[in-house]
Structure 1
Amino acid sequence: MKNNRIRILYIDDEVHNLNAFKASFRRNYEIYTAGSAQEAKQLIRSINVHIIIADQKMPVTTGVEFFHDIRESIPEPMRILLTGYTDVEDIIDAINKGHIYSYIKKPWDELELQKTINNAFEIYMARQQLKEKIIELEKTNDELNRFIYSTSHDLRSPLMSVLGIINLARLDNSVTDPNGYMDMIETCVQKLDGFIQKIIEYYRNSRLDVEYEKINFSTLLEDCVNAFIPQNTSIEYLIEVDQPIDFKGDTFRIMVILNNLISNAVKYQKPNEERPQVKLSVKIEPHKGTIRIEDNGIGILSEHLQNIFKMFFRSKNNNKPGSGIGLYIVKEALSKIGGTINVDSKYGEGTQFEIIIPNRNEFDT
């Protein structure tokens, strides 16, 4: 039964107050006492107390100073301040510096103090339960992410096998397909594989540590563009890089951002556009890098702009295939590296994204 009782540490430099407190409350609570702040610090290293009650006016260290000293190292116990004064400034100082739960005037009223103790313990228990729930949720979330990542990897293997079989059938002309079913199968497999790759991308972004290295944007943009040229050979890519100084950033996440935005610029081109274009520009400054990606595609409805970075949101103004998580991943990747993104779009005319990323080269010098 003793282990289930509320454990209270009472600190006061007057011995008769310590004895009076222990005599009044020892039947209801598990009481520990200390005659100074120093003695109290040694005691709470070995005893997990729920509530700490400290007298404000002690000769060496005041109650507020004691609470302030242990606020970072021992944050869990609830703090109650006893004071024989009604100085408003002292009380405000106590709340601001010591993060106290309540203050009680001396001499204390036994019923009032007992009620305050019980209420403080209820809050203490609620906080502990919340911490346990957070730990449990984090564990569940981690297990779920690992499961999704593992499953996604396992799914890609048979999908690649299906695509391989389709290509073999085409090469040796072993299958007659007048209705184009193989093309339909290939399209569906590629769409599913694209979605799986987005899941893997999301997982890696959330799990991998941020690593900064020097980036040459001319090379980076060229690599990105070359990967998309086969998807639509009619698109003209205009690349402009102004990089007079070194830029240090997270290559993986910047690649994730660029690939998703360029993918959208390619995917959402107007089918009847005579000169489809994707413009890519980079300007590097000592403290930041600014990237702009602009297209002359179908654009985004103004009422959808505030929702495009939400997971699984898809605009209903087009029939283009999409996972609905690409821009969400872009936003998450930017948050990892301290970047921001703005979008400007006119329906029927095109879209421009502006990304600003801190130049970590400046922070290392």
Structure 2
Amino acid sequence: MTESNRYRILYIDDESQSLQAFRRTFSDVFEVHIASNCQEGLEILRNHRIQLIVADQRMPDETGVEFLKKVRSLYPLVIRTILTGYSDIEAVIEAINHSHVYHYFKKPWNEEELKIVFRNAIEAVELTIENTSLSHDLKDALGELEKNAETLEFQLAERQDLIDQLETSNNAKSRFLSTISHELRTPLNPIIGFTDMMLAKEPEGEFASCLEMINRCGHDMLTMIDSILEFIQVEKGQTLGKIKPTNLNHILLDSRDLAISLVDDRPIRIELTFQHNGEKVESLPEVLSWFDPLRQILFNLVSNACKFTDEGFISITANLIDLAGDKSQLEIHVKDSGIGIKSQDRDNIFDLFTQIDQSISRRHSGLGLGLAICRQQAKRIEAEIDLESELGVGSLFKLRLLVHPIEETSQAPQTHDTLAPTTLIGKNCLVIDDNPTDLSVTSSMLESIGAHVNGSQKGETALHAFTEQKIDWVFISYSAQDSGSAELIQKIIDLKLAPLSHIVPITNDPEETARPVLQAMGIKSCLRRPFELKGLLRSVVK
């Protein structure tokens, strides 16, 4: 212990020789203060932080016990001891009872005994003081923690309220976008349907150009509506579907057909290549995979390539690579000779509502959702999408994911090119739709290919008029929001008005929404508005 940190002791005695002897004896270990009377002792206590007092019991002005009583009231933390040369048991008892004296000693003292007692007494009291201080600090800290906890709890409550509000707003936004998107499909149905039929008659001149423009704008708007609905479904996690047997040939051929329909009359060559372990093959085996997300990602990549390619080529290459165990890696490349992307824009191209250039958004319609949906869906099925691109040369999107092979098959892919209208020529078709415009569109399409059409706006009351007639096909409006439409379809099935496979529901709903109820009734597919003539024929062929 350093000089400045030595314990401080006050010794009070009216005998000067005892005072000096005490100082000589203990000053090597303690900082010793001495006083010849009680008044001097109090003065020293006021000016110094004394930790222990040794008071002689027999003093002329007042006894040691009386002095220690006073010290206890003024300085309760100072350790009090008493020294006496007499066997005064009553004084000792009084000192212990009333003055809370820590220890008493008899003259002559034992030097080593006193040093040990003094040191132990002071260290015990110092430890008590330190513990008290720590206890106060801990109490203060706990109080601060409680205060902070209350503040944090309040902030968390506020944050949860904000999250709830945002979730409510987000749900309202999704419902609004979904409703608007569904409703916009209704007026698009006659726009796309009638212009498609009129274009099929091969008009000429300016009239043909106007029809083509109206038809193209209708399809552009439909693409935007579908993007909004896809975004809502991905945001809610509703489009993941299940891992199930997936015919890769059908998905790839559908994507090729999509590209053919989107490039219109632009000088673009569409190429589709199947590969197995890098070798070109005629078809790919069936696999277990995420059917719906895979189809959605591929269609969006193909649509993106068609959107930004004015001439040249768009190639789709699928390579199924066998891996060890029961897994394979499917790699799909979608390459185009389009406008390409600047290197600094590649990291942003997958962001929501992103167009890399405002001039591009003016030239090419769209909301910037397609690639964002691709990235979100790819993450959900643990797939990877990479991009290689050079401005003015073109882009290459690479999709990689693990699939599970089912068995090696050598089935030839369906071309989807044969949509023979002969299936409906001369057939009696019943069209049921509460919307007169949609009723007219569907009826006109069927009549344009030689079908006999009986149309009805009020389906349930009109059904009885057709029970005695031979009906070959039924095209009926369906909505998941209207339970009456499902009940009407069930009545048609119960009445055996037409073969079950010849009942075609027509809906504004996404296929994921319409499918469960229809499949429960035994109907495998439906026709979604707005549709072109080839879309109607494809649903019939299916």
Q: What range is the shorter-chain TM-score in?
A: 0.5 to 0.7
* Counterpart-to-counterpart distance in 1, 2:224 and 2:250: 27
Which residue number in structure 2 is paired with residue 144 of structure 1?
173
Mark the CA change 1:206 to 1:297 in structure 2 (over 3 Å): closer, same or farther: same
Amino acid at match of 1:329: I
* Counterpart-to-counterpart distance in 1, 2:205 and 2:314: 38
Which residue number in structure 2 is paired with residue 186 of structure 1?
215
- TM value normalised by structure 2: 0.42
Give how far 1:141 is off. 0.9
Amino acid at match of 1:289: L
Instruction: Describe the superposition over 1:127-146 as per-residue Cα deviations: whole angstroms up to 9, x where unpaired.
Output: 22212321231222122112
What pairs with 1:77-226 in structure 2 (closer than 5 Å)?
Answer: 106=135, 109-167=138-196, 180-207=209-236, 208=238, 210=240, 211-226=242-257
Which residue number in structure 1 is paired with residue 394 of structure 2?
350
Amino acid at match of 1:153: H
Instruction: Describe the superposition over 1:101-147 as per-residue Cα deviations: whole angstroms up to 9, x where unpaired.
Output: xxx96576444432221122111221222123212312221221122
* Counterpart-to-counterpart distance in 2, 1:358 and 1:105: 61
Q: Does 1:242 align with 2:267?
A: no
* Counterpart-to-counterpart distance in 1, 2:180 and 2:388: 37
Q: Does 1:295 align with 2:336?
A: yes
* Counterpart-to-counterpart distance in 1, 2:392 and 2:203: 44
Q: Which moves more between the two structures, 230-239 or 176-185?
A: 176-185
Amino acid at match of 2:342: L
* Counterpart-to-counterpart distance in 1, 2:261 and 2:144: 74
* Counterpart-to-counterpart distance in 1, 2:262 and 2:239: 32
Which residue number in structure 2 is paired with residue 330 of structure 1?
374
Conservation of the 8 A alpha-carbon contact between 1:265 and 1:294: yes
Q: Gapped runs of 5+ residues in structure 2?
A: 1-132, 278-283, 407-542
Residue among 297, 300, 311 paired with 1:260: 300
Conservation of the 8 A alpha-carbon contact between 1:266 and 1:278: no
- TM value normalised by structure 1: 0.61
Which residue number in structure 2 is paired with residue 279 of structure 1?
316
Which of structures 1 and 2 has the bigger CA Rg? 2
What pairs with 1:33-72 in structure 2 (closer than 5 Å)?
Answer: none
Give the length in aligned residue pairs: 256
Mark the CA change 1:296 to 1:334 in structure 2 (over 3 Å): closer, same or farther: same
Mark the CA change 1:265 to 1:360 in structure 2 (over 3 Å): closer, same or farther: same
Give how far 1:307 is off. 1.4
Give how far 1:303 is off. 2.3
Amino acid at match of 2:315: V
Give how far 1:174 is off. 11
* Counterpart-to-counterpart distance in 2, 1:169 and 1:209: 35
Mark the CA change 1:237 to 1:169 in structure 2 (over 3 Å): closer, same or farther: closer
* Counterpart-to-counterpart distance in 2, 1:281 and 1:137: 42
SS of the residue corresponding to residue 229 of structure 1 reads helix
Give how far 1:259 is off. 0.3
Amino acid at match of 2:348: N
Mark the CA change 1:358 to 1:270 in structure 2 (over 3 Å): closer, same or farther: same
Amino acid at match of 2:398: E
Give how far 1:280 is off. 1.5
* Counterpart-to-counterpart distance in 1, 2:173 and 2:198: 38
Instruction: Describe the superposition over 1:148-206 as per-residue Cα deviations: whole angstroms up to 9, x where unpaired.
Output: 11210111011112223434556789999559444333332221111001111222223
Which residue number in structure 1 is paired with residue 445 of structure 2?
none
Q: Gapped runs of 5+ residues in structure 1?
A: 1-103
* Counterpart-to-counterpart distance in 1, 2:338 and 2:202: 38
Mark the CA change 1:249 to 1:148 in structure 2 (over 3 Å): closer, same or farther: same
Give how far 1:344 is off. 0.5
Amino acid at match of 1:262: V
SS of the residue corresponding to residue 344 of structure 1 reads strand
Conservation of the 8 A alpha-carbon contact between 2:196 and 2:215: no
SS of the residue corresponding to residue 350 of structure 2 reads coil
Amino acid at match of 1:335: K
SS of the residue corresponding to residue 307 of structure 1 reads coil
Conservation of the 8 A alpha-carbon contact between 2:314 and 2:334: no
Give how far 1:231 is off. 3.2
Mark the CA change 1:113 to 1:172 in structure 2 (over 3 Å): closer, same or farther: closer
Conservation of the 8 A alpha-carbon contact between 2:256 and 2:272: no
